[in-house]
Structure 1
């Protein structure tokens, strides 16, 4: 009770020792038949642990019947107001194309609360209004204006009383704040420009699907207000994502996208300069990254490219936002669990109503939005509620009342607003912005609008939604109606409206006339990416070795403990002491040690490393232990971040939620922002990437080809046949190879879309990681990562293998075979090599050479040809793999080897299957023996 009372008291101007009368109310009920005198004291609050005003009940008085009646009325009025705040959004006039008007909710009738319209009530401490008292009818007028007009709000479920009270007060104040004439003129201009753009394209490009903004033009009022509010706050950057609807209107109208570039694309030409190797993308995916001048202040706005896979860009925008925060050195990048976010970057997400309800990535994004290493201080979401998904009405497109109901998953407030009322959109935007800035939490605007021309301009929506479209077709456009309102209010003249329309029409007409002379300007490899370039078609060897003394220093530092760290006793022997012993003996360096010194060497050079995934700090197979947890306090220590004093490069170990699509999208977003950070995503098991296939297909493997967007994202996908069953065995390497643009009839250069490697030694892994950052270009890398090799006695390396002058080997030769005796050559990739090599030793097959193909893409045909030519007496060439014939690298390797080496290649491996592996132990054992023996017996 005292805590609630304190909240109320702090709204008053208090003095120490001050006394006043108050009635004690608890929730919706009267606490007692007493009133009291409260003395205000300055002191410590024992209940909430803060120093400030503390109320002390000094004296109680019994009261009479009249006082009790007044207090009951006060309590009932409080309950009525609370009910409005909780439920009135259900009767708000938020649907611009409703077939019927919203009905008054019976639960909000005054008589339900024992009140009559003529009853006098006090508004103090209940309603935020200029009036101190009035009748119940007066109060209803205020409540309906605030909570049941063309805006409604859901906030009663917010986590804290402070948030709930703030939201109620802000809502109740905002309706008394006028929209000044300058703002009215500005949003009119943006809405008219949007309408002009749609009309212009409808005339000049009749068959073009522009996914126009007709019916949602008030969205421009939202963007205008967000930009204006941002520059008057501390914000310097907005990172945003947006689907197709109204995208081109917004780009060419407010984000300074050259309309010449758009018109050139519509005439069949590329959006890139002629010398750029890129396929481009459709216009509804276009983007802009621009400095805007808002009220003489600079605001940088980046809109991300958007694939047609709905909502997939949302986690990408979140990752890029975090990386932008780090770039501004505001402490967002940190190994600390409680790292704070930046005040200078805002994440803005625009959604579609049906997509936000239907796409699971949205739930994943919200689930990680407040977690350590992923939190960005809240996003502002606006859902462009078309009330139809393609042709499916909302009644069939979701099970919830609102398309925003997912927001309740994280207790985020929702403001519902009628898109027919641009000024109410402004008010909704102001409230959302203030909430996000004050509480650094997500907030949603449900922007109710409609599609005047259906899903796109070539669609006939009356096939499936005749009733709604009878209403839409008889409506005046929103910009025209708002123009008439402002003319009637003497804010603008008819001539001013015509001038806006004419100027933007002339602007677009002039741009169309200039298309033939327009040369697209490059918008990539600028700023922090200026030292990067597009990879060449040549094959280049990158020296990635490091001085051995430095490597030993890093290896020792990777397990150096703080003096007060209470480490797990098992780790002391199996991790700390074991690594120190390996370093001292300079032999048998395992996978985890090679990884640690690869990370450490990059940090030492000033690069950053971020590795995310499920329990990556420890590692799925309990091998990494890059973060050490104090067994007494639970605090985390990361040795690699304390190698040297004043260390710039840091590693961030981001243990993620149990998600693939959102987390991988987040890491991709981070990767395209920063060329100085090595972002790594590790799957718990290789085939778990399936949950993120949309991100892989539409961003990682195709982003550079479509958009000239570079990424150095690295994916670690544990792979290997060891009897674990169908879902913990294969990383589906064949799928990634199918996604590459490698050619079958000519050597690959460095300029492939993605790299796929299957390393067999820790040193090879070391060089792969370092190569990602050493080169002057960035490419995504898929590493077919080991499981059993992590602790395999034969899969070790020495410091010499990683020293100066060394590099990644695309092909590893067979140093044990005698070139004069070899009649059979086996090609193999990955862990399967060790089983084959062991069997060769057991049977004494000296006539067999085993060549390891470490790089699958780029396919190392030149190195392979060089190796194959050594064996003059070889008659049989075999590809051996653990995977079934319809999986693994076989179908990728065969045509390239045969076309470019001119030799026939035979297959040895499991037969084609519908699943990567079986789960019957004796069958697995039999197959495992067969795939080892058969390559040595086949002729």
Structure 2
């Protein structure tokens, strides 16, 4: 039975803010569209409340003014350096109420209060107490009346949920523990930059509240990303990370277990995976490593969250509607104030947060607002009033809180969690604090910010201030607090004595991938073939559509019918068919596959058609999700927003969650990855080396010099090859960080995709993908090349050429091969053979040497490429041929250029002729 997802099905009613109406996007998948509710179930007030608003319009306007502008008067700066004027919108005179302050009115429909009747002066006082103290909010721009009214009600009644004395004592001890940790490190490691939590200790109260709320709402997993500030405090004081490992790291030792290959990372990038007990309930926290591109971690965390939701079956994997459940997994993103407002990756991540195939049911954003970015003041670091203003674009509520009061921080966090769990949307906590030291502990901040640091050095610390408050209120006793700190210091001292003897265990790393190993030397030879009958079965299923389906006439003729016939013939299979066979066979074996990127459902070059649309009603079907009736694995076709950095980071994050998911990201054109370079540099190419995190992510980068101009030609092979750790003198093949390939046949592509999953380790795969040869008859394959016993070949030779007649061997890679073959024929050249390097990294030394043995009479060896000399593979292959193959190559290709391709057609043709002359001369 084929499941069909209908565009025409729309639900007339919805509950809450998120309309449940399915819509059909151009990608052929489904998502949720936010809209004002238009049903009888839309948010409404009681008749009495509405009458009261009509009866007291000026009072209601005043209340609304406080809800909108109260934050401008709030006491948010723990340092007391902000000088705020009272907004004119909050003046009672503005509403003609100054002579009626003693009048009593009903609060129903006016203000959410436990007092049913108040004087106007009492209402003003209540509003000032709620909106103009150490915690305030911005929410008047939320999309629906239900959201706005819900937020007003819960904000104005937030203090009705009291914090128990036991909880207050727990928080006091936690803050003192963090302070003692910083003091210990400051005394033992005086020259180490630790980016301590001093001045921001109350953030731990926020984390404690989030974990408590998770336990209360059956959220069993939290995926977290966090920048430097207070990171070590959080790891040691809350996530049970062994301090001894930190101490070893500070003394220059490795953070990895013995016999594990890796270069490691700096102290402030440490990470963990841990189970926490909250009220008898287990909360698993995946605390991700971060690069110094701090906000680059945002989409990675969201992607891992979605992967985890789907792994635990809350992501509705089987429906392909693009939605996700927030039931079991929470994404918690911690940000710095300067980076949050200035880094574009934050905006990109928020743009996709509610998109089909990317939503995770809302993230909690905690901005640790130090009120300064390195040495730059906010007035110079952003144009907006608050660092959190970016969230308003997506209609996310913002809760501002003064970090000097841990109990206000708890109230703010509790409200944020309630909103997120109610509406499945992101929410932002602007946690305003300070940093006791400069950018790091070795910095002197008084160089640039003297007044701020005069205020900081003259004030009592947050942990001391809060513990003294509890002591004065009689909530706890001094001995208990001191004993708690003493025990913690004893633990730190004990760990210090174990620095030289402690053997690190792998438990502190992220989730164990059962059965996965670090790669060995041979990472190219794996049997990836599939039985012929299975291939034919999957191929037929890949274009099977329901009866009476009105498919487009072109798709029916050239995609469906032609594929069926070629599968019967077993030959002339194109790239799209090979891709379907690879994906389908992986699905058949139980692996999930996700293909993501801009317009990937159809393909940039209209070659894929992974989903087929009914021309009569816009219904959509993805045939590969219906290979068998009991299919458990799922093919997710995720057309993405016009983003590269956030989307690629998201896919990388998903790839970290399980080795059983094949994640493929396709760029619209090869060089579109440019916008995602931080993800490539800091995660994809170095994640395993720095953090032992394996990823099988595939990057498809359409590449080829076709006269399309500079921005649509090159996938910048040279950049990826420069990012590899392949050695120039390696003989036996490298255990490299990434694989860079340039396949020339669909069968090779088929094996590459399958190889990603059948091995017992994962490596990122960079594919210089085809454009003009997608449908080239010469660049087709047979089923025999994909059958059982076949594999990917790192090097391809020309079997039809007699080795005894060859005196020139031309090495090349990619689609340039077909241009060379055509030119050889036109020039009637008989003594030249072409050898294709399908794999560039790992560099196939042994395979090249074996091929050269055939051509013992050859006198000249050439490297021919269509890219410019300072680009492409030349600078990578030349030293390796000379060092390990023992063969010096002559270069034949374009001259150096500052841009990847010319934009003048005549000049492009002249360059092609020049390349051919250099190759065959």
With the length of structure 2 as denominator, give the TM-score of the two structures: 0.94
SS at match of 1:715: strand
SS at match of 1:699: helix
**1:121 Cα deviation from its structure 2 partner:** 2.4
Cα distance per residue 1:625-678 (max 9 Å; x no partner):
001122233232100000111101111000000000000000000001110010
1:934 aligns to 2:886 (yes or no) = no
Q: Specify whether residues 409 and 92 from structure 1 end up closer, same or farther in structure 2 by C-alpha distance, changes over 3 A only.
A: same
Of 901-910 and 839-848, the range deviating more from structure 2: 839-848
Cα distance per residue 1:797-817 (max 9 Å; x no partner):
000010011000000012122
Q: Which one scores higher on RCO, CA 8 angstroms, separation ≥ 6? A: 2
Q: Specify whether residues 342 and 435 from structure 1 end up closer, same or farther in structure 2 by C-alpha distance, changes over 3 A only.
A: closer
8 Å Cα contact 2:671-2:713 kept in structure 1 = yes
Q: Aligned partners of 2:664 and 2:43: how far apart in 1?
A: 50
Q: Aligned partners of 1:865 and 1:611: how far apart in 2?
A: 37
SS at match of 2:102: coil
Cα distance per residue 1:133-184 (max 9 Å; x no partner):
1211111111011111101100000011111001000011112332210110
8 Å Cα contact 2:813-2:836 kept in structure 1 = yes
8 Å Cα contact 1:818-1:846 kept in structure 2 = no
1:466 aligns to 2:456 (yes or no) = no
Q: Aligned partners of 2:61 and 2:92: how far apart in 1?
A: 10
Which residue of structure 2 lines up, in the alignment, with residue 520 of structure 1? 504
8 Å Cα contact 1:618-1:626 kept in structure 2 = yes
**1:747 Cα deviation from its structure 2 partner:** 2.5
Which residue of structure 2 lines up, in the alignment, with residue 111 of structure 1? 93
Q: Aligned partners of 1:430 and 1:395: how far apart in 2?
A: 30
Q: Which runs of 5+ in 2 are unaligned?
A: 1-13, 15-36
**1:479 Cα deviation from its structure 2 partner:** 0.4
Matches within 5 A, 1:254-293: 254-293=238-277
Cα distance per residue 1:671-713 (max 9 Å; x no partner):
0111001000000000010000000000000000000000000
8 Å Cα contact 1:335-1:651 kept in structure 2 = no
8 Å Cα contact 2:136-2:401 kept in structure 1 = yes
8 Å Cα contact 2:274-2:286 kept in structure 1 = yes
Q: Aligned partners of 1:629 and 1:584: how far apart in 2?
A: 25
8 Å Cα contact 1:243-1:350 kept in structure 2 = yes
- The one of 55, 64, 76 equivalent to 2:58 is 76
**1:557 Cα deviation from its structure 2 partner:** 0.7
Matches within 5 A, 1:58-97: 74-97=56-79
Of 581-590 and 793-802, the range deviating more from structure 2: 581-590
1:541 aligns to 2:531 (yes or no) = no
**1:111 Cα deviation from its structure 2 partner:** 1.3
Q: Aligned partners of 2:242 and 2:53: how far apart in 1?
A: 65
**1:787 Cα deviation from its structure 2 partner:** 0.1
Which residue of structure 2 lines up, in the alignment, with residue 830 of structure 1? 814
**1:538 Cα deviation from its structure 2 partner:** 3.3
8 Å Cα contact 2:862-2:892 kept in structure 1 = yes
1:880 aligns to 2:864 (yes or no) = yes
**1:526 Cα deviation from its structure 2 partner:** 8.2
Of 529-538 and 253-262, the range deviating more from structure 2: 529-538
Which residue of structure 2 lines up, in the alignment, with residue 649 of structure 1? 633
Cα distance per residue 1:325-367 (max 9 Å; x no partner):
0111123434523533240000000000000011000110010
- The one of 569, 572, 576 equivalent to 2:560 is 576
Q: Specify whether residues 428 and 271 from structure 1 end up closer, same or farther in structure 2 by C-alpha distance, changes over 3 A only.
A: same
Q: Aligned partners of 1:856 and 1:52: how far apart in 2?
A: 60
Q: Specify whether residues 883 and 48 from structure 1 end up closer, same or farther in structure 2 by C-alpha distance, changes over 3 A only.
A: closer
Q: Specify whether residues 538 and 763 from structure 1 end up closer, same or farther in structure 2 by C-alpha distance, changes over 3 A only.
A: closer
Which is greater in Rg?
1
8 Å Cα contact 2:868-2:894 kept in structure 1 = yes
SS at match of 2:186: helix
Which residue of structure 2 lines up, in the alignment, with residue 22 of structure 1? none
Matches within 5 A, 1:408-419: 408-419=392-403
Which residue of structure 2 lines up, in the alignment, with residue 686 of structure 1? 670
**1:849 Cα deviation from its structure 2 partner:** 1.2
1:631 aligns to 2:615 (yes or no) = yes
Q: Aligned partners of 2:170 and 2:178: how far apart in 1?
A: 13
SS at match of 1:554: helix
8 Å Cα contact 1:613-1:654 kept in structure 2 = yes
Q: Specify whether residues 860 and 912 from structure 1 end up closer, same or farther in structure 2 by C-alpha distance, changes over 3 A only.
A: same
Q: Aligned partners of 1:593 and 1:123: how far apart in 2?
A: 68
Cα distance per residue 1:507-536 (max 9 Å; x no partner):
111111111111011248986611110001
Q: Aligned partners of 2:558 and 2:749: how far apart in 1?
A: 22
Q: Aligned partners of 2:80 and 2:735: how far apart in 1?
A: 54
Q: Aligned partners of 1:785 and 1:860: how far apart in 2?
A: 20
**1:51 Cα deviation from its structure 2 partner:** 6.9
8 Å Cα contact 1:540-1:750 kept in structure 2 = no
1:252 aligns to 2:236 (yes or no) = yes
- The one of 771, 776, 780 equivalent to 2:760 is 776
- The one of 822, 829, 832 equivalent to 1:845 is 829
Q: Aligned partners of 2:480 and 2:618: how far apart in 1?
A: 66
**1:100 Cα deviation from its structure 2 partner:** 4.4
SS at match of 1:517: coil
Q: Specify whether residues 71 and 912 from structure 1 end up closer, same or farther in structure 2 by C-alpha distance, changes over 3 A only.
A: closer
- The one of 778, 782, 805 equivalent to 1:821 is 805
- The one of 94, 116, 120 equivalent to 1:136 is 120
Q: Specify whether residues 811 and 524 from structure 1 end up closer, same or farther in structure 2 by C-alpha distance, changes over 3 A only.
A: farther
Q: Aligned partners of 1:209 and 1:56: how far apart in 2?
A: 58
Which residue of structure 1 lines up, in the alignment, with residue 19 of structure 2? none
- The one of 291, 303, 319 equivalent to 1:319 is 303
Which residue of structure 2 lines up, in the alignment, with residue 238 of structure 1? 222
Q: Which runs of 5+ in 1 are unaligned?
A: 1-6, 8-46, 61-67
Cα distance per residue 1:362-420 (max 9 Å; x no partner):
11001000000001001000000001000000010000000000000100000000000
Q: Aligned partners of 1:328 and 1:55: how far apart in 2?
A: 39
Q: Aligned partners of 2:546 and 2:226: how far apart in 1?
A: 47
Q: Specify whether residues 324 and 909 from structure 1 end up closer, same or farther in structure 2 by C-alpha distance, changes over 3 A only.
A: same
**1:841 Cα deviation from its structure 2 partner:** 2.0
Which residue of structure 1 lines up, in the alignment, with residue 404 of structure 2? 420
Number of matched residues? 885
Which residue of structure 1 lines up, in the alignment, with residue 650 of structure 2? 666
SS at match of 1:400: coil
1:204 aligns to 2:188 (yes or no) = yes
Cα distance per residue 1:262-317 (max 9 Å; x no partner):
10111111011221110001110000100011111111001100000120000000
Q: Aligned partners of 1:355 and 1:374: how far apart in 2?
A: 23
Cα distance per residue 1:481-527 (max 9 Å; x no partner):
00110000001111122112211111111111111111011248986
- The one of 80, 88, 112 equivalent to 1:98 is 80
Which residue of structure 1 lines up, in the alignment, with residue 680 of structure 2? 696
8 Å Cα contact 1:536-1:749 kept in structure 2 = no
Matches within 5 A, 1:359-370: 359-370=343-354
Q: Aligned partners of 1:627 and 1:582: how far apart in 2?
A: 20
SS at match of 1:321: helix
8 Å Cα contact 2:245-2:504 kept in structure 1 = yes
Q: Aligned partners of 1:342 and 1:359: how far apart in 2?
A: 27
Q: Aligned partners of 1:53 and 1:386: how far apart in 2?
A: 38
SS at match of 1:550: helix
Of 616-625 and 811-820, the range deviating more from structure 2: 811-820
Q: Specify whether residues 150 and 54 from structure 1 end up closer, same or farther in structure 2 by C-alpha distance, changes over 3 A only.
A: closer
1:336 aligns to 2:320 (yes or no) = yes
**1:583 Cα deviation from its structure 2 partner:** 1.2
SS at match of 1:270: coil
1:897 aligns to 2:881 (yes or no) = yes
Matches within 5 A, 1:690-769: 690-747=674-731, 749=733, 751-769=735-753
Q: Aligned partners of 1:53 and 1:686: how far apart in 2?
A: 48
